[in-house]
């Protein structure tokens, strides 16, 4: 096989893996948008906050150490213990649930029946707040996240492809883990929403708020539930992205990567988030591979948006979004 | 007592249709103008100009521009940073190519260039609505910033990739470059702001503004009563982008002096201006001013208190500032989703009756 084709295949595979990572973030958006009609810009910051909390808990950092030291002149930094990864993840999930309750109590409850743009702006405000809170709580330095996920090149795949094509593909182990985790996550979310009582209530709310209220479903509980699930998805995304590129501010920018995925897949569709993520992942990697060198590289910043934009001009509700029917 | 229409009789159509029909409003407007033109330039120094006044004036232009698009025409845009970058790079290319032409003309031309780009990126709005459109405008933001970063022609092949404003004079005073005095910067921005604000005010209460508002309130109904959605939406994008382009040009030429596109015109700018519009009040020119003033003053105030008064380290103060800004925005949206303009409207209702409420 010609080299170019092999390279392109490798790039495509890597693009698929990157797409899975985008889908992980996009999932959180879709869950919240479906259930409460809130376009949650803070999803990326939630992932950052979750990852920061996880690292902080694992390493036994004292929260708010910087503030406490500044005000009281103490020199606190560390409790001096290390938690096992699993326990830290469970604790962080607990923190995310707590955060969901707080967000519902302090923000969403007061903004019921406001225009969508106002809710959207509120989540941007929330994103600012959480970003500051994460930094104040755990410090702004770049942290290494290590929960025992395999890293580096996958040698099995390299040797297999080497035997088949005479050229070993470079695939990151972490990406493979992320793919497996994403599959499990989507499967369990689907099972949860199809077969559990809460899941059915959740779908009812997503269909029609008022009808759900009238059959006795508590909207506020569902919102807490949805934000908790979104927080959990953010935690998973935070772990994956954090293990990949370190826990730092730029982690929150993955939200911007997930937006074109949403546009492509439709804001209201979970399969759409997955398929959209894969298309965007493959598309931007292939485009960078084919056209990047001609125009100076770094096309990944905008390609996804332009692709989604062009796509939307022909299909305004996205791939799997609900058709918008307008009545006069 | 002071603020009332009663007894203020209009005898000509001109008087009836004036911008501020109530005498108290009108007086307030003239006094503000007199102070802004007559008093502030005499007492302004470099700190006040650079920290407060010039950014306020420039952001007010951008906020008016975005308010035309979001507040009047109902098309949510997150591409403000990208459009400001277009204005900045257009004015840079124009100033370096035609150094003899007065800079005011360059700034307005830069607005024109931005208007063209805005129309181009506004085309999808004919098909896409709501949040899909908001996200689609991010395409403009990322693509434009990438373009100015990667194509050397835009920054005249300078080694650092930065653009630096050349010196230029108007009426014998430096208005751009290192030798510009604080009052010259201030006055130059102020003149443009006042002109554009008058234009915006009159556009929005005229036929164009009514068409935009009809599209915003219900586009299908607007189409049925004879508003052409293509023209209305694209004209909103054009006018809005013109304002934002002028703001970007001033931001670079007068305020920053030298700019690097990924830093100066990042997506944070887009959000900042959108916050100004929302906090100030959607669909209100006064609100754009109030929002710009609030969000320019707030960080300055917080920084002075936290770092200046309490003596906290700057990095901690910066993080706390993020938290406070975020919390304030959420609080504000909960307390008054219609923004500061609505507060002002309520205050005026109260003033009408004051001091005899019965």
The answer to whether A135 contacts chain B (CB < 8 Å) is yes
Chain B interface includes A65 (CB < 8 A): no
Phi, psi for residue B4 in degrees, rounded to 5: -155, 150
- For the cut 80, the answer to whether the pLDDT of residue A73 exceeds it is no
**Which chain B residue shows the shortest CA-CA distance from A40?**
B131
**A302 lies within 8 A of chain B by CB:** yes
CA distances from A216 to A35, A219, B46, B206 (A): 16, 9, 62, 49
The verdict on residue A230 lying in a domain is: yes
Q: Rounded to a whole number, what is the distance in Å from the CA of A197 to chain B's nearest CA?
A: 31
Residue A321 DSSP SS3: coil
pLDDT recorded at residue A323: 66
Domain CATH code at residue A121: 1.10.3470
Q: Is the pLDDT of residue B164 over 70?
A: yes
pTM for the whole structure:
0.86
Q: Which residue has the tokens 């005011």?
A: B104
pLDDT of B82 reads 93
Closest chain A C-alpha to B326 CA, distance in angstroms: 4
pLDDT class of B199 with cuts at 50, 70, 90 = very high
Mention every residue, 6+ apart, whose C-beta is less than 8 A from residue B289.
B60, B63, B64, B197, B280
Q: What is the mean pLDDT of residues B35-47?
A: 85
3-state secondary structure A246-277: CECHHHHHHHHHHHHHHHHHCCCCHHHHHHHH
What SS3 class is residue A153? strand
Max mean pLDDT among A29-43, A189-203, B221-235, B342-356 falls in: B221-235
d(CA A317, CA A230): 23
Q: Once rounded to an integer, what is the mean pLDDT over residues A14-31?
A: 83
Give A297 or A72, the one with higher predicted confidence: A72
Q: Please say whether the beta carbons of A252 and A44 come within 8 A.
A: yes
The distance of A157 to chain B (nearest Cα, Å) reads 35
Distance separating the N- and C-terminal Cα atoms of chain A: 58
- Domain containing A177 equals 3-314
Q: Has residue B56 got a pLDDT over 90?
A: yes
Pairwise CB contact (< 8 Å): B322 & A260: no
Token pair of B34, please?
């007199």
Q: Is there a domain that residue A324 lies in?
A: no
pLDDT grade for A98, boundaries at 50, 70 and 90 = very high
Within 23-62 of B, beta carbons closer than 8 Å to A belong to none
Beta bridge partners of B207: none
Q: Mind listing the pLDDT tens digit for each residue in A238-279?
A: 888 888 777 777 777 777 878 888 888 877 777 888 888 888
* Per-residue H/E/C for chain B: CCCCCCCCCCCCHHHHCCCCCCHHHHHHHHHHHHHHHHHHHHHCCHHHHHHHHHHHHHHHHHHHHHHHHHHHCCCCCCCHHHHHHHHHHHHHHHHHHCCCCCHHHHHHHHHHHHHHHHHHHHHHHHCCCHHHHHHHHHHHHHHHHHHHHHCHHHHCCCCCCCEECCCEEECCEEEECCCCCHHHHHHHHHHHHHHHHHHHHHHHCCHHHHHHHHHHHCHHHHHHCCCCHHHHHHHHHHHHHHHHHHHHHHHHHHHHCEECHHHHCCHHHHHHHHHHHHHHCCCCHHHHHHHHHHHHHHHHHHHHHHHHHCCCCHHHHHHHHHHHHHHHHHHHHHHCCCHHHHHHHHHHHHHHHCCCCC
**pLDDT above 80 (res B144):** yes
- Cis peptide bond prior to A251, omega within 30° of 0: no
Nearest CA in chain B to A316: B128
Residue closest to B61 by CA, chosen among B170, B165, B195: B195
Task: Please name the residues between 74 and 93 in chain B that touch chain A, using a CB distance below 8 Å.
Answer: 76
* Cα angle value B34/B36/B40 (rounded, 5°): 115
Q: What are phi and psi of B170, to 5 degrees?
A: -135, 130
* pLDDT of A327 higher than 60: no
Domain map (residue ranges) of chain B: 44-266
Residues B226/B107, Cβ–Cβ less than 8 Å:
no
pLDDT value at residue B236: 93
Nearest by CB to A131, which of B130, B220, B322? B322
The distance of A50 to chain B (nearest Cα, Å) reads: 17
Give the mutation candidate from A263, A292, A295, A303 for the B interface (greatest B CB count, under 10 A): A263
| Residue of chain A nearest B313, judged by CA positions | A70
Domain total in chain A: 1
Mutate to test the interface with A, among B317, B323, B325, B332 (most CBs of A within 10 A): B323
B262 touches A at CB < 8 Å = no
E strands within chain A? none
Cα B82 from Cα A276, distance rounded (Å): 25
Phi, psi of A259 (to 5 degrees): -65, -50
State the ipTM, two decimals: 0.81
CA angle B42/B43/B47 to nearest 5° reads 125
Q: How far is A255 from chain B (nearest CA, A)?
A: 12
Structure tokens given for A37: 């009609």
Q: Which residues contact A195 (CB under 8 A, 6 or more apart)?
A: none
CB atoms within 10 A of CB B157: 8
pLDDT in the model for residue A137: 83
Kindly state the helix (H) or strand (E) to which residue A292 belongs, with its residue range: helix A270-295
How far off is chain B from A27, nearest CA to CA, in Å?
16
Q: Does B220 touch chain A (CB under 8 A)?
A: yes
């Amino acid at each position: 096989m010609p080299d170019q084709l092999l390279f392109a295949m490798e790039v495509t595979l890597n693009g698929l893996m990157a797409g899975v990572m985008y889908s992980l973030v996009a999932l959180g958006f879709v869950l919240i948008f479906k259930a409460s009609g809130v376009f949650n810009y803070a999803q990326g910051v939630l992932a950052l906050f979750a990852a920061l909390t996880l690292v902080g808990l694992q390493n036994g950092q004292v929260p708010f150490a910087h503030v406490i030291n500044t005000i009281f002149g103490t020199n606190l930094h560390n409790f001096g213990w290390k938690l096992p990864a699993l326990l830290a993840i469970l604790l962080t999930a607990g923190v995310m649930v707590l955060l969901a309750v707080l967000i519902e109590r302090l923000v969403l409850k007061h903004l019921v029946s406001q225009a969508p743009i106002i809710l959207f702006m509120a989540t941007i405000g929330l994103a600012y707040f959480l970003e500051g809170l994460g930094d104040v709580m755990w410090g702004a330095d770049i942290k290494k996240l290590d929960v025992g996920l395999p890293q580096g090149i996958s040698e099995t795949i390299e040797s297999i492809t080497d035997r088949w094509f005479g050229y070993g593909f470079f695939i990151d182990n972490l990406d493979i883990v992320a793919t497996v985790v994403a599959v499990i996550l989507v499967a369990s979310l689907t099972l949860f929403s199809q077969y559990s009582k809460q899941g059915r209530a959740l779908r009812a709310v997503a269909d029609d708020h008022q009808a759900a209220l009238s059959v006795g479903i508590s909207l506020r509980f569902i919102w807490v539930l949805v934000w908790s699930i979104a927080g959990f998805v953010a935690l998973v995304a935070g772990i994956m992205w954090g293990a990949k590129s370190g826990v730092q501010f730029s982690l929150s920018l993955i939200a911007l990567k997930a937006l074109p995925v949403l546009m492509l897949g439709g804001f209201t569709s979970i399969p759409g988030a997955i398929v959209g993520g894969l298309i965007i992942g493959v598309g931007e990697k292939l485009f960078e591979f084919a056209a990047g060198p001609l125009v100076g590289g770094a096309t990944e910043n905008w390609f996804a948006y332009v692709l989604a934009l062009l796509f939307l001009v022909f299909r305004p509700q996205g791939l799997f979004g609900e058709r918008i029917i307008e009545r006069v | 007592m002071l603020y009332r229409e009663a007894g203020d009789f209009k005898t000509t159509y001109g008087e009836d249709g004036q911008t501020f029909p109530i005498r108290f409003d009108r007086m307030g407007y003239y006094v503000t103008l007199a102070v802004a033109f007559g008093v502030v330039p005499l007492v302004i120094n470099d700190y006040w100009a650079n920290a407060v006044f010039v950014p306020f004036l420039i952001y007010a232009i951008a906020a008016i521009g975005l308010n035309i698009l979001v507040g009047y025409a109902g098309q949510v845009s997150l591409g403000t940073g990208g459009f400001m970058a277009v204005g900045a790079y257009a004015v840079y290319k124009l100033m370096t190519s035609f150094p003899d032409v007065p800079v005011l003309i360059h700034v307005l031309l830069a607005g024109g260039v931005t208007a063209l780009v805005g129309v181009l990126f506004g085309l999808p709005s004919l098909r896409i609505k709501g949040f899909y459109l908001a996200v689609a405008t991010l395409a403009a933001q990322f693509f434009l910033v990438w373009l100015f970063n990667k194509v050397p022609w835009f920054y005249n092949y300078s080694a650092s990739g930065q653009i630096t404003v050349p010196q230029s004079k108007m009426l014998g005073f430096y208005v751009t470059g290192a030798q510009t005095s604080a009052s010259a910067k201030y006055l130059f921005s102020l003149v443009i702001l006042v002109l554009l604000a008058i234009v915006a005010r009159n556009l929005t209460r005229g036929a164009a503004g009514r068409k935009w508002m009809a599209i915003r309130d219900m586009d299908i109904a607007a189409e049925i009563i004879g508003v052409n959605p293509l023209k209305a939406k694209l004209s909103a994008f054009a006018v809005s982008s013109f304002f934002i382009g002028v703001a970007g040009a001033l931001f670079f030429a007068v305020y920053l002096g030298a700019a690097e596109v990924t830093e100066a015109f990042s997506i944070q700018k887009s959000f900042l201006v959108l916050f100004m519009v929302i906090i100030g009040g959607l669909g209100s020119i006064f609100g754009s001013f109030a929002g710009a003033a609030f969000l320019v003053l707030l960080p300055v105030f917080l920084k002075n208190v936290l770092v200046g008064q309490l003596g906290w380290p700057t990095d901690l103060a910066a993080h706390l500032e993020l938290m406070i800004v975020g919390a304030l925005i959420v609080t504000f949206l909960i307390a008054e989703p219609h923004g500061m303009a609505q507060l002002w409207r309520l205050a005026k209702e109260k003033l009408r009756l004051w001091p005899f409420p019965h």
